[in-house]
Amino acid sequence: MRAKCRFLGVLSLTLALPSLLGAQSFEGVIRGRTVEVGGEALMTHLYGGDEDEPEFESQADWLRHTGNRLFQIPLEQLTSGAGEDVRVDETTLRLKGTRIRLDSGSPGEGYAIYDVATRESWLVSPADRSFVHFSADEVEAAAQAAARDAEEAMAAMGVDIDEIRREAAEYEPGELDAQGQMDYGEPRVRSLDRTERLNGFQASAYEAVSEEEFAVGWCARDASQLQATMKKLTEMAGAMEDEEEDEGSDVAMGDLLCGDGIPVRVHLLSPFSGMDGEYTIEEVLSIEETSVPDDVFEIPTGFKKKTLEELWGIGG
C-alpha cells in the first residue's frame, strides 16, 4: 500500500470512527496480517500452470475454479522471491478506553493514534521525529479543499465537471464504472459446511462469488464484547485501503461473508482489478486482553509538530 493511500485511508477512518466503535470496555492488543499479491507473481499463479482447464459455463465458474486453486498455495510459497509483486503487512492495534493506536508495517515505519471521544488523530513518524495532529472537522475541511482544487485543475484542462456529475448521477449497476469496468452487483454467498480451528478461533468457511470477484472467508461466532470490539477494529483497518482502487473488496467482502461474525481470514481474488489483478489475504492473528500502558498513546518528547498542509505537500 503506498504512503498516499495509507494517509487518505487514515483521513477517511477518522471521520468514520464514532459510528464504527462507540462505547466499549475491551482493553488489549489485536494483531492482524494483510498479504497482497499482484503483477507477474499473480499472473504466474493464475496462468502459469501446465494443467488443462475444463470448460466453464460462466466467468463466475472460472473464478471459483481458479480462486480455489490459488487459495491452496501456502503463504510461504506466495511470498518467497516475489519482490515488489507481493507485500506482507502486519498490523497491531492497541485499544484502551476510547483511544486506539494503529501500527502498520515494519517497526519504525510510523503509527497513528485516535481518540474516538474527542475525534482527534495523530500521525507519528519516528523516522523524522515528527507528528501531525488534527480533528475530524479539519480533515473534512482539508478534503473539501482538495476536492475543489482537483475540480479547478480539471476545469483548467478543459474537462466538463457538470457532465461528469450528470453521468455519475445516471450510473446504474451493470453499467461501466468510473474505471471502465463492469459492475455486476453483490456477490452470491453460501456456506461450505467446513469448520476448523484457525488462529485460536473456531471458524466456519463461506464463499462469495460474482462475475468479477471470488472470496473464501473463515468466520467465527461473535460471542463476547471482546470479539465484537475486534470485529469493529478489523472493519476500521479495512477502511485504510485505497477506496478508489479497491472499492468494495477486502473488509466489505469479509462483512458479506461473515455477517455479524468475525472474518478471521478472508481470501479475495479480483483478477480484473487494475492492470494485472489482485489477490489479498486478510486475517486476524491474535487477540490479547491485557493492560495497555497510557504512554503508548502519547507523542514522544522532542517530536516536531507538522501541519496537514505540510504532510500533504500543499502550499509553500
Question: Percentage of residues in the chain with pLDDT exceeding 90?
Answer: 20
Express each pLDDT in 194-227 by its tens digit: 999 999 889 999 999 988 889 999 998 865 565 5
Express each pLDDT in 284-303 by its tens digit: 888 888 899 999 999 999 99
Chain CA centroid to CA 180, Å: 22
Q: Please report the pLDDT score of residue 240 as a whole number.
A: 44
| Residue 7 scores a pLDDT above 50 | no
Sequential DSSP letters for the chain: --HHHHHHHHHHHHHHHHHHS-S----EEEEEEEEEE-HHHHHHHHH---SPPPP-SSHHHHHHHHHHHHHTS-HHHHHTT-GGGEEEEEEEEEEETTEEEEEESSTTS-EEEEETTTTEEEEEETTTTEEEEEEHHHHHHHHHHHHHHHHHHHHHTT--HHHHHHHHHH--BTBB-TTS-B---SPEEEEEEEEEEETTEEEEEEEEE-SS-EEEEEEE---SHHHHHHHHHHHHHHTTS-HHHHTT-THHHHHHHHTTSEEEEEEEEETTSTTT-EEEEEEEEEEEE----GGGGSPPTTPEEE-HHHHHT---
Unique residue bearing C-alpha cell 517530536: 303
| Residues 276 and 42: beta-carbon distance below 8 Å | yes
User: Among 60-64, 212-216, 252-256, 277-281, which is the least confidently predicted range?
Assistant: 252-256
How sure is the predictor about 244, in pLDDT bands with cuts at 50, 70 and 90? very low
Express each pLDDT in 168-198 by its tens digit: 666 554 444 444 444 555 678 999 999 999 9
| Residue 260 scores a pLDDT above 60 | yes
Instruction: Output the CA–CA distances (angstroms, integers) from residue 86 to 154, 218, 274, 276, in the order listed.
Output: 34, 22, 15, 13
| Residue 268 scores a pLDDT above 90 | yes
Q: Please report the pLDDT score of residue 118 as a whole number.
A: 81
Q: Please report the pLDDT score of residue 185 as a whole number.
A: 59
AA letter at 184: Y
Q: Please report the pLDDT score of residue 316 as a whole number.
A: 44
Please name which of 41, 65, 104 lies closest in space to residue 233, comparing C-alpha atoms: 104
AA letter at 185: G
For the record, the C-alpha cell of 270 comes out as 479480483
What rounded mean pLDDT belongs to the chain?
76
| Residue 131 scores a pLDDT above 90 | yes
Please name which of 257, 246, 251 lies closest in space to residue 212, comparing C-alpha atoms: 246
Express each pLDDT in 42-85 by its tens digit: 887 777 666 677 788 888 888 898 899 899 988 888 877 667 78
Please name which of 258, 259, 282 lies closest in space to residue 269, comparing C-alpha atoms: 282
